[in-house]
Structure 1
Amino acid sequence: MSEITVGNYLFNRIKQVGVDSIFGLPGDFNLALLDKIYEVPGLRWVGNTNELNAGYAADGYSRINGLSVLITTFGVGELSTLNAIAGAYAEHVGLVHIVGVPATSSQQKHLLLHHTLGNGDFHVFDRMSAGISEKVYLLTENKDIPALIDDAIHTAKLKQRPVYIAIPTNVGELKVPKSKLDTPIDFSLPPNDPEAELEALEEVEKSIAAAKNPIILVDACAYRHGAVEETNALAKLTKFPVFTTPMGKSVIDEDYERYGGVYVGSLSSPEVFKAVEAADLILSVGALLSDFNTGSFTYSYKTKNIIEFHSNYIQIRRATYENVSMKPLLAKLVSQLTPPDLPLAPVPKLAREPAEPATETPLTHKYLWPRISGFLQSGDIIITETGTSSFGVTSIVYPAKVNGISQVLWGSIGYSVGCALGAALAAQELDPSRRVLLFVGDGSLQLTLTAISTMVRWKTNPYLFVLNNDGYTIERLIHGPESSYNDIKSWDHQLILPLFKADPETSESIVVKTKKDLDTLFTDEKFKVPNKIRLIELMLDRLDAPESLYKQGELTSKTNAS
């Protein structure tokens, strides 16, 4: 065949760039398009329980795979996933959102179709998506459709932001040259501006040479924009103490002896706070300085000597070097930098096990998180929900090659459950030996519970740790500790896996009430093997939380009241 349909071209391109699973829901304006998925060997239509979960799953899949694809239908379907798309945009996650829309003839006639607002405006929904998408693509008969599809995929991957593609029902059936698939999409980064890059490199090297107490502070965009290898190489070359933010956790190999922990402004441990504040040079890689990522903006560096490495510019004190990307610049810096001959500054010692024994007393956050640290393995994927989990995990040490995922900036309640589905499917495709561990509160779980049904459907084997603290603990600590709006109806979590008809041979539900219960579970060699889907219910007091969350709650309450 010299020609193929637009739908066939689209899904062949998606498969070519390493996406094997497609998320979403069917709807009458995308059904014919979905047929084309099955024409591409090795491509899987996941099929989610609702569009919001589909968006969260696509986000999680992309964070492991580097790119994901989501398909919804016009109006009702696409609007249901916009919260997830906004989160992907805010947190730099590459995602292609494909929307099946009415035929171009229907649009031209302004027909009063279902799923419209009844006013003949067929572009109101793509205008809504424009503000949370890197680019919007409206495919029509008179455009170079293969070029637009390629540009959309290229933009999502390179910019690590969502893009929106509207495909009318008739356009998906149009024929395009098959030969265009023979030329791969080139994802090479555009070259840095040579003069700006040279000047920036010289200034960075001068600053490093003059520093007496430099540190490296790593944030989320180092991971999102593919600079993990270069960042770790810089840390090991210079031997500067290296810290991460909550969003940057797992970018640096935490087994590295010069890793000092997580810096969250005033919420940091005293040792970390002291080490960072004492620096006379901060090499900041991939910063996303949101409130929960900075301890409500309580960064108070004594030094003004800050060099910021970003995906599309470098900031050196007050000088900005546009069109200079951190990934190639860091690679050049590592290749040519002569590290200063400085005495090794001490780094904080990080606790890897609980300081207290495993007794029959009730489980607490103080015991839980250090004990989890000892249970983790190299290669684990760890997803933590906004709330007690995302604060607890900052205090623990990850083994090497761990991926940590926490939606610290967007902070959408329930995100982590759908995200865990996407991450589990990506792990299933890329390396089935990797364990996926979800930590979610009982309140958050109630928003997106049905994502677990899809996990069961596709025979994934995540560990689902449900922190049962009888409601919205993070909200209680910000405002209204006894208010009924922070209450939820309690569920019998032990019935969730049976509800979704999980195979009893490959599923397990467990309740943990005491420190001893947790210790016994984590020392069970069979439990360490990811050969089942497991739901582990952790019983905790409703006002028990990690120490940093108590402090964050106070800061957030003050910020909200000012």
Structure 2
Amino acid sequence: MHMMIGDFLARRLTEMGLRHIFGVPGDFNLSFLEQINARDDLAFIGNTNELNASYAADGYARTSGLSGVITTWGVGDMSAIGGLAGSYAERLPIVHITGLPPLYAVESRALLHHTLADGGYGNIGRCMAEFTVAQTRLTPENAVTEIDRVLQACWRERRPVHIQLPSDITHLEIEVPQTPLVLAEPTGDSRQVARAVEQIVAKLNAAKAPVLLIDAEADRYGIAAELAALSEKCGIPYASLLPGKAILDETGAFYLGGYAGAASLPHVREAVEGSDCLIGIGARFTDTSSGFFTDQIPTESYIDLRAHDLSIGREPIVAAPMKAVVQGVLSQVKAVSRPAPHKPAQAPIEAAQPDEALTHKALWPRIEQFFRPDDVIIGEAGSSHTALSGLTLPKGSTYIAQPVWGAIGYTLPALFGSQLGQISRRHLLFIGDGSIQLTVQELSSILRHKLKPIIFLINNQGYTVERMILGEHSAYNDIAQWRYTELPGVFNAEATVMTRVVETAGQLEETLSALHAHEHAALIELKLPTLDAPEALKKFGKAVADYDYGLFGPRNASQRS
């Protein structure tokens, strides 16, 4: 059968399961956008800039499994690359398609706009190769094989890929297969999988204090249900690293809490580091996930499951994919009844007086009560993510943050993508004033598409996370003060948006009560003191300063001992 190249690429995207693709139009991608517009199974979603488009694609992938973003050559690609790098770091499958100038212009080294005017067309691909797992420049001769190769790599590795689509070949017809694209999971070598399963089952059966340590790959490779079943079958407690938050039920009896080395609660650290059979699920001990490398993981009793291979103690086993191994262990391990781990009782919430100024101490316990099952909760880097990391999220909730890449401003566009992919779920975003000023334009896209998130904007007059690290009173951490609650009217005068400015504990209570019955979007500005911060963020700031600036480097006065 024959199809136009652009139509075949769009068909393959839909066969992957893609329903929306984000981006910004430009002259070199318009011919492909016309082909997308002609379809009823794939919608192009325009963004306010390419960086926001890549963030939106990232958010979409977190709730829908995979995503795509379209840019135009050069200027569009370089705008999007920061978001794609974040998706690479956080392990998310994003198909990046760039509209390349006409193939004849590329081959003749034409000095075109959106280039460096040096006749070179290899620079974008070289840049993208650093942040994608596969790249290609399509031609009529290679399109069929290259499209499938790159899309398979995107799914197999759960990381971005880069496709260059010349603008003059989208409407050329080529012979294509009739069979649909099948995204098969690697099965590995059955002998290696069996060997790994046998050893892990033996260690679990003999263990007195096994623990599962969950990271993001448990979600990316779709094994959360199997891990929950393994915990239940064998009475195995589980903890999570920061990127793995809420992948398994945090209200479950066997949930220990978050693990971050010395920054962990004592009972969590004792259970994880004292385990005689600790199974890490794609665990990466980054600075923030390890309490700045204070983790003390027992090497000999540690089983490190990775996407396609694993290690048991010091022994590597290749060609043993995580999913196949976990499924094998679940089917073969013997059931064990263990008591649920003891967890210290939570301290009672101190009721604030209605006229008391709002503080982080009063805010977050009340926010925890406001959550409900199946919420999608999004935490921006800084105060919000730090505070949310310490809360217990309800059953069925999804937590979205960027703890590895940590780009401020990421979460507002990510909210747009996530809610577009899961429109029936309630979305709550917690973002700071400094962060929202980077990407606030995407609020117009949210309102344009009639989405109804609840956005809590923490206004503490600048970059609080940076103040906690260094420069408590320095002007470089200050920002302009906006009238934030007027922004919805600026971006979409016809949208129905509840806006409030909250400065006291009493106003917070009234606002949360009103939100329970509210059926439209909401933007709630929470005014907090400039140097107020969650206690965990204060400790984090000192740890970062100690790590970054050396023994004789500058410190905040409050950090000096």
> What TM-score, normalized to structure 2?
0.95
Deviation at 1:467, TM superposition (A): 0.7
2:494 paired residue among 493, 496, 503: 503
1:561 paired residue among 525, 528, 549: 549
Specify the alignment match of 1:275 in structure 2: 271
Cα distance in 2 for partners of 1:18, 1:522 equals: 37
Cα distance in 2 for partners of 1:520, 1:510 equals: 10
Specify the alignment match of 1:361 in structure 2: 356
* Counterpart contact for 1:241–1:347, Cα < 8 Å: no
Specify the alignment match of 1:163 in structure 2: 161
Specify the alignment match of 2:553 in structure 1: none
Specify the alignment match of 1:260 in structure 2: 256
Specify the alignment match of 2:427 in structure 1: 436
The 1:358/1:233 distance shift into structure 2, 3 A limit, reads: farther
Deviation at 1:153, TM superposition (A): 2.1
SS at match of 1:155: helix
Specify the alignment match of 1:221 in structure 2: 217
Deviation at 1:339, TM superposition (A): 3.5
The 1:352/1:408 distance shift into structure 2, 3 A limit, reads: farther
Specify the alignment match of 1:515 in structure 2: 505
* Counterpart contact for 1:352–1:374, Cα < 8 Å: no
1:493 paired residue among 473, 484, 490: 484
SS at match of 1:240: coil
Deviation at 1:370, TM superposition (A): 2.0
Cα distance in 1 for partners of 2:276, 2:322 equals: 21
Cα distance in 1 for partners of 2:171, 2:345 equals: 58
Any idea what the Cα deviations from partners look like across 1:89-148, whole Å, max 9, x if unmatched?
Answer: 1110000000001111111111111111121111111111011100001101222x1232
Cα distance in 2 for partners of 1:286, 1:406 equals: 17
Specify the alignment match of 2:411 in structure 1: 416
* Counterpart contact for 2:433–2:460, Cα < 8 Å: yes
Cα distance in 2 for partners of 1:528, 1:67 equals: 31
1:545 partnered with 2:537: no
* Counterpart contact for 1:471–1:542, Cα < 8 Å: yes
* Counterpart contact for 1:261–1:350, Cα < 8 Å: no
Task: Tell me which moved more, 210-219 or 242-251.
Answer: 210-219
Cα distance in 2 for partners of 1:347, 1:261 equals: 12
Deviation at 1:243, TM superposition (A): 1.0
Cα distance in 1 for partners of 2:460, 2:388 equals: 17
Cα distance in 2 for partners of 1:192, 1:302 equals: 27
- AA of the residue aligned to 2:359: T
- AA of the residue aligned to 1:466: L
Specify the alignment match of 1:112 in structure 2: 111
Unaligned runs of 5+ in 1: none
Task: Tell me which moved more, 442-451 or 308-317.
Answer: 308-317
SS at match of 2:244: coil
Task: Tell me which moved more, 294-303 or 365-374.
Answer: 294-303
Specify the alignment match of 2:396 in structure 1: 401
Aligned positions of 1:18-57 closer than 5 A: 18-57=17-56
1:468 paired residue among 459, 463, 467: 459
Cα distance in 2 for partners of 1:320, 1:162 equals: 27
Cα distance in 1 for partners of 2:42, 2:336 equals: 51
2:343 paired residue among 342, 345, 348: 348
Cα distance in 2 for partners of 1:333, 1:24 equals: 42
1:480 paired residue among 452, 471, 476: 471
Deviation at 1:488, TM superposition (A): 0.5
Cα distance in 1 for partners of 2:479, 2:149 equals: 45
Query: Quick one: percent identity of the two aligned structures?
Result: 36
SS at match of 1:315: strand
SS at match of 1:172: coil
* Counterpart contact for 2:204–2:333, Cα < 8 Å: no
The 1:65/1:482 distance shift into structure 2, 3 A limit, reads: same
Specify the alignment match of 2:372 in structure 1: 377
Deviation at 1:43, TM superposition (A): 2.1
1:92 partnered with 2:91: yes
Cα distance in 2 for partners of 1:85, 1:329 equals: 30
SS at match of 2:41: coil
Specify the alignment match of 2:520 in structure 1: 532
* Counterpart contact for 1:353–1:373, Cα < 8 Å: no
Specify the alignment match of 1:230 in structure 2: 226
In angstroms, what is the RMSD of aligned CA positions?
A: 1.7
Any idea what the Cα deviations from partners look like across 1:257-300, whole Å, max 9, x if unmatched?
Answer: 11121111111223323333332321111212211122111112
Deviation at 1:517, TM superposition (A): 2.0
Find runs of 4+ consecutive structure 1 residues off by over 6 angstroms: none
Cα distance in 1 for partners of 2:140, 2:250 equals: 52
Any idea what the Cα deviations from partners look like across 1:201-243, whole Å, max 9, x if unmatched?
Answer: 1221222223222221111111112111111111111212211
* Counterpart contact for 1:213–1:345, Cα < 8 Å: no
* Counterpart contact for 1:477–1:550, Cα < 8 Å: yes
Deviation at 1:358, TM superposition (A): 5.6
The 1:134/1:302 distance shift into structure 2, 3 A limit, reads: closer
Specify the alignment match of 2:194 in structure 1: 198
